[in-house]
Structures are given as C-alpha cells and as structure tokens.
Structure 1
Amino acid sequence: MEIKRYKSDILFIVVTILLGLIIVFSSKFIFNGGFVEDKLNRGVKYYKAEVVAIDKEKLQKDKYIDDIELGYQQIKLKVLDGPYINQEFNVVNNISRLYNTKVKQGSEVIAALYFKDGEINDISISSFKRSQVIITMGVLFLMAILLVGGFRGLKAIVSLIFTIVCVIYLMLPLMLRGISPIWASIIVVAISTAITLILVAGINKKSLVAISGTLIGVIIAGILAYAFGVWGNLSGINMSDAESIMYISENTGLKIKGIMFAGILISALGAVMDVAMSISSSIFEIHSLNKNMSIRDLFKSGMNIGKDIIGTMANTLILAFAGGSLNILILIYCSNMSANRLLNLDIIGTELIQGLAGSTGIILTVPVTALIASYLSKRKNGNRTRIKNKKKFKVIKNENR
C-alpha cells in the first residue's frame, strides 16, 4: 500500500510538471506581442561589472541622515559579460541620497552603458549585483522545505513552482491579450488551487471540500473588493505605477479596470487555501474518530476550530498590505493631513479595501468549508451504511430460504 501511495504521488508530480510545461510553451500563442518598448531606457544596456580599483574618492557624511555618505568616487570598472567583456573603463560614481551606491575594490555591480550613434557615450553604476544573493536565499528556502517536509515538501515545491508558472505564463498573457483581469485571475486561482490541494491530499472528498471552500472564499473576497471598489470609485487607475500601466495598456490589450481586484484574488489565495484545508482535514478526522456525530455536531466542531484560526488569520492580509505599504504609511503619518483628506485618499481606500476584502474572504471560508465538509463526510458514511445493510438483508433472506 505504501509503494502504491508513493506511485500515485509521483504520477501527480509528473502530471503537474507536464501541465506546467504545456502552459509555458502555450503562453506565446495567448500573447506574442513581445516586450513594450522602454522609452526611458532607450539607448541603454546593462552588463555585469567589477570594481577593479578606486583611484580617488571624496565623500562626507550626511548631516541629517545616519549611515549616508555624499560625494563621488573615481573608479576603474571591468565589464564581465557582453560584447565589452574584460574591457576596463574609468567611471565617475556620483553618490547622492537617492542614488547611494558606494562601492569598494572587488564590488560586483551592474553597469549602465549609454550609447549614442553606436558608441559608448557614458557609463554609470546602476546597482549592486544581487542575483547571487537571491539565488542563495531561494536554495536555502527550498532546502528548508525538503528537510522539514520530506516527500510532502517536494510536492509543496512542485505546487509552488506550478503556481508561479500559472501567474507568469497564463494569467499575465491572458490579461495582455485583453481578457478581463478578474476572469484571468479566477482561472489561475481555480487551476492552482486544484493542483496544489490534489498534490497535498490526493483525489478524495477532503481535497474536494478544500478546493470548493478555497474557490468560494477567494471569489467572495473578489466580489467584496469589486463591489466596494465601485462604490468608492476605485477602479485601480489611481494605484501606484498607474502611468506605466497605462502606457502598457496603450500598446497591448490590457484592461486597467480590474487589475486591483485580480491582485486581491491572487494575494488571498494562499491564506484562504490554508484555512480551507485545515477545516476540511479537521472535520474528516473528527468524523473518522466518531462516526456517530451528526452533521450539526461536525459543523459546530469545525466552527470551534475555525474560531481559533480566525484569531490569527484575520490579521494576515491586513498586516501583509501594511508591510508592503510601510513607506506610504510613514509619509501619511508625518504629513499632518486633515481627517477629511486622509480618510478619502485614493491610496488609503485601495489598501484598506484590499486588506479588508481579503481578510473577510478568509473568515467566511471557515463556515463555508465546515458546512460542505460536514455534509460530505456524513454522506459518505451513510452510503457505506446502506451497502452494509443491503448485504445483511441478503444474508437473512438466504437463511430464511
């Protein structure tokens, strides 16, 4: 039985990987418009480089901000890739409050080469080279999942990668093709939820309940966000980076209205999925231990468990949005705005509706999942009871004969 169970898990993993590859190769047929021309960086190319030497530097500490130095550095930069590999250039690295990239000998950076009439006109340091840091952190993350989760950790990694593939190679191409962002996100949510929960729990009624609860909870969050967004005249056009999004919309089929709500559906998915699976698994486990419990008693047990979950989950998305908007919160806190202006800012309305709609979806997932799980667990038991009763009836009938 153990070998068969692992065989089915491996089969699900292989199917998931194949489905992910199909989505990747099919994305170009959904949208194949290529990249939108970057007007701001026209004539600029970026290459890896290393600081070979610092010939001169004139820096002084900022009078008002700690750990900030202002001034310039005269450095010798060696390009590490591209057509100018191993070539060295003398560069002036200007350091200001906004562009504070202070380097030292041996620092790996990303160099911006500015071209005019096919020739290098200027060179500057764009940023430090951080790709190796991100890759290392990613490897540690995957190793932690595998070490703690074992084979289930492997399934979690596969489902995570599949979700990322769905967002990048399915949802975004659909949106750029002109499909409503809300419908595109619902499609991705449905596919990702089904694959993830089937990988975690297999094909059974427990995973079916969790999938149903997740979809209903996420859709509730989306409906609330859309309804209150329309009521508050928040279409998503006033969000951050709106100007860049509008430029992309001009050159593709992207529909700006609905992007904010699509973001809510995706951001709420993980937390809602977690709650739905926890409630579903708990109720089926309770039923397996005490099959005499009624649907009502199972529902009450699920709600009691859910109340404990709600205590922590209610803050999940609110804190996530607050953390992502911490700079904005600091600016607003220090701006000395009047209550009338503060409470009616576009960005405040957007952030609050995102957080509240997502958290409401998480909370309402509890009773919905508990109700479905209670009903399906008892229905399964009832069907078995009828089968047993039929077998007993046949035995008695034969004895009478």
Structure 2
Amino acid sequence: MKYIWNKKTLIFTILVILAMPLIILSSPLMNKNIVKQHYYNQKFEKALVTKIIESNLQKDHVIPNLEIGTQKLKVKILTGKYKGGIYETTNLLSRAHNVLAKENLKIVVGIRETDDGPNVWVYNHVRSNVIYFLIGLFFILMLIFGGINGFKAVLSLIFTGIMLIFVLVPMIFMGKNPMLSSILIVSIICVISFLLIGGFDKKTLAAIIGTIAGVVVAGIISYISGNLAYVTGLNVEKGVQLVYIAQDYNIQVKGLLFSAILIASLGAVMDVAMSIASSIFELHRVNENLSAYELLKSGLNIGKDIMGTMSNTLILAFAGSSLALILLIWGYQMEFTQMINMPFIAVQIIQSISGSIGIILTVPFTAAFSVFLIKNEVVVKK
C-alpha cells in the first residue's frame, strides 16, 4: 500500500512539473487576440557609472543621509541595443527620485530614441540581484529544512505564481469576469497545492473543500460589502491608473476587489483548513470510538486558537501595507468621520475583515467536511 501511495504521489508531482512550462508556453495563445498597447517609447537597460563629471548636492534637512540636487555622469550601457556605448546624462535627485550615483555603481537607465540619437537618463538602482538572492535563499532553506515536503511546498508556490501571472492576468485582460476567473484559478491552485503537500487522502479532500468554501465566502462578503459601501475596483491600490489601461482593453474593473480578496486570503485559509483537517483525522486515528459530535466539537475547539492568530496575521498584513497612510491620517489629525469614510480606508477594512471572516468560517466548514468523510467512510483510493 505504501509503495502504491508513493508511486501515485511521484507521478502527480512529475505531471505538475511538466505542466508548468506548458502553461507558460500556452499563455501567449490565450491572449493572442488581445491588441497589446505600448505605453513606453523607451527601453530600460543596465548601465555602469564610469565617471562623476560634476556634482551639485546638498543634505536634505528632513531625511537623514539623503542628498538632493544634480549630478552629471558618464555611463556605459551594459545590455541591449546600445551595449558598450558611453553617454553623458544629468541625474536629478529629489526626495521622490533619489539614485545617488557613484563611480563603478551599476544602475538602470532609460533610453529614448530621438532624431539626435539615444537620450539616456537615470531610472533606478539595480535591485534585481538582491531579489534573486532572497528568492534563492528562501528556496534553499525550504529544501534544507523541509526535505521532500519543502520541495513540494516550493513547487506549489511556483505553480501558484504561474497560474496567477500566466493564466489569471491574461483572463482578466481578455475581459473575463474577474470574480468567476478568480474562483476558478484559486480552486485549481488549492487542489494542486493540497495534493502536492498533503497527498491523495480524505484529509486533503476535507482541506480542499474547506478552503474553497472559506475563500469564496470571503469574496462574496467583500463583494456585497463593497457594493453597499460604494467602493469598486477603482478604489483598490493603483485602481485609478488601471482605468486608463482598461480603456484600451476589456478589463472588468468592478470585480477586481473580489479577486484581490480571494488571492490575499487564500494562503491563510489554506493553512487553517489543513490544520483543522489534520487535527480531526489525527484525533480519529488515536481514538476511533469518538462520535461525530465529539470530533466536530474538538475540531471547533482547536479552531478557536488558530482563527485568532491567523485573523490577526491577515489584518496586520493589510495594516502594514497601509502604514504610510495611517501615519498621514494621524499627522493631518483627520476627524474620525472623514477618515472612516475614505474609499481607501473602506477598501482596506473590507479586505481585512472579509478575509478574516473567511478564515473563521473555514474552521466549521473544514471540521464538518472532515467528520462527514470520516463517519461516512467516503474513500479516496490510494
């Protein structure tokens, strides 16, 4: 029995690995009918600062160690069409855009093609190396300390990213309903992730059903609350800018708030669902004489401790992303009536509370499904 179980898990894992590049390669076929717009008439390439010709900088009196002013530079293009070319450019440093150039520093430059040749300007620091390092470190630590389960978790994470970027995003740009598209993609992610991590058994099935029920309820509550509070996809972060793109595509902006809730709460809800399902099935394994009521009650009791910390985690995540706004509200000494009715504040509260409600309801959903599968002996063949 154990050999068959391992064989099935291995085959499924291999199929998921093979499916991921196929999804990436087939993504352009999904959006081949989309007329893509080109909003930037410039290229962004890596460059090396070879010389500081002139520097006119002064210390900022508000932000410590920040210098503002201008620099005249010589930069050497390292990538792209103009690779190897050396150009002079003026680097403007302000509080909003501050890239302090030093000799031998690698930066990202923007290149506009003009009748007089390329116009080069300083865009930003090269941050990709740090990002790649952190991602690599995360994966390595997962593999070292997680072993096979860590590998499956990494695989699940990569699959989730691929589904969101190469499937959900094109579907939204194709004009598909964001709510229905999100439910479909979230459900697929949930099923694949749980099967990879939990395997083919009744516990995994209970966690899958509980997760899908929890995130859908969270999304529905956010959708209804958003309509009652008169907030739409325009009020989510970058929503106003998205409207200008939506004019050129078929994006249904109204349903984006629902999609954001489903995606944001999925991880926490999956965690809660698996914890509850594992606990109930373990209780049943230890004592098969426990009644359905006793199992359900135990699952709900376990869930009380879990839902408190997970809901807190979700709310703090949203609060952390809005910290700058919270500081502005306090700094401007806004009245409560003014603050609580701001669209962005309403969106943040609806997102965090709806996600937390999804977590709370995941507990009874998963517990009930787990007990049902145990007591009715619904068999998932191994």
TM-score (ref. length: structure 1): 0.90
Partner of 2:24: 24
Is residue 14 of structure 1 aligned with residue 14 of structure 2?
yes
Q: Is the 8 A contact 1:286 1:298 kept in 2?
A: yes
> Which one-letter code corresponds to 1:17 in the other structure?
I
Deviation at 1:125, TM superposition (A): 0.8
Decide whether aligned partners of structure 1 residues 56 and 118 sit closer, same or farther in structure 2, where only a CA change above 3 A counts.
closer
2:178 pairs with 176, 181, 190, which one?
181
Partner of 2:249: 252
**What's the secondary structure of 1:71's corresponding residue?**
strand
> Which one-letter code corresponds to 1:279 in the other structure?
I
Is residue 237 of structure 1 aligned with residue 234 of structure 2?
yes
RMSD: 1.7
Matches of residues 286-325 of structure 1 in structure 2 within 5 Å?
A: 286-325=283-322
Is residue 265 of structure 1 aligned with residue 285 of structure 2?
no
Distance 1:336 1:101 in 2: 32
Deviation at 1:342, TM superposition (A): 1.1
Distance 2:239 2:305 in 1: 39
Distance 2:242 2:92 in 1: 31
> Which one-letter code corresponds to 1:24 in the other structure?
I
Higher-Rg member (1/2): 1
Deviation at 1:380, TM superposition (A): 2.1
Aligned residue pair count: 378
Deviation at 1:117, TM superposition (A): 2.7
Distance 2:2 2:101 in 1: 56
93-102 or 330-339, which moves further after superposition?
330-339
Partner of 1:211: 208
Is residue 36 of structure 1 aligned with residue 34 of structure 2?
no
> Which one-letter code corresponds to 2:180 in the other structure?
W
235-244 or 77-86, which moves further after superposition?
235-244
**What's the secondary structure of 1:296's corresponding residue?**
helix
**What's the secondary structure of 2:253's corresponding residue?**
coil
111-120 or 160-169, which moves further after superposition?
111-120
Partner of 2:352: 355
Q: Is the 8 A contact 1:58 1:73 kept in 2?
A: yes
Distance 2:370 2:2 in 1: 26
Deviation at 1:22, TM superposition (A): 3.3
Is residue 372 of structure 1 aligned with residue 372 of structure 2?
no
Deviation at 1:35, TM superposition (A): 3.4
Decide whether aligned partners of structure 1 residues 370 and 72 sit closer, same or farther in structure 2, where only a CA change above 3 A counts.
same
Partner of 1:158: 155
Distance 1:199 1:332 in 2: 44
309-318 or 50-59, which moves further after superposition?
50-59
Decide whether aligned partners of structure 1 residues 29 and 90 sit closer, same or farther in structure 2, where only a CA change above 3 A counts.
closer
Decide whether aligned partners of structure 1 residues 4 and 106 sit closer, same or farther in structure 2, where only a CA change above 3 A counts.
farther
1:148 pairs with 145, 148, 151, which one?
145
Unaligned runs of 5+ in 2: none
Deviation at 1:346, TM superposition (A): 0.6
95-104 or 28-37, which moves further after superposition?
28-37
Q: Is the 8 A contact 1:110 1:127 kept in 2?
A: yes
Q: Is the 8 A contact 1:316 1:359 kept in 2?
A: no
Is residue 108 of structure 1 aligned with residue 109 of structure 2?
no
TM-score (ref. length: structure 2): 0.95
Unaligned runs of 5+ in 1: 384-401
Decide whether aligned partners of structure 1 residues 35 and 129 sit closer, same or farther in structure 2, where only a CA change above 3 A counts.
farther
> Which one-letter code corresponds to 1:255 in the other structure?
Q
Deviation at 1:34, TM superposition (A): 5.2
Deviation at 1:55, TM superposition (A): 2.6
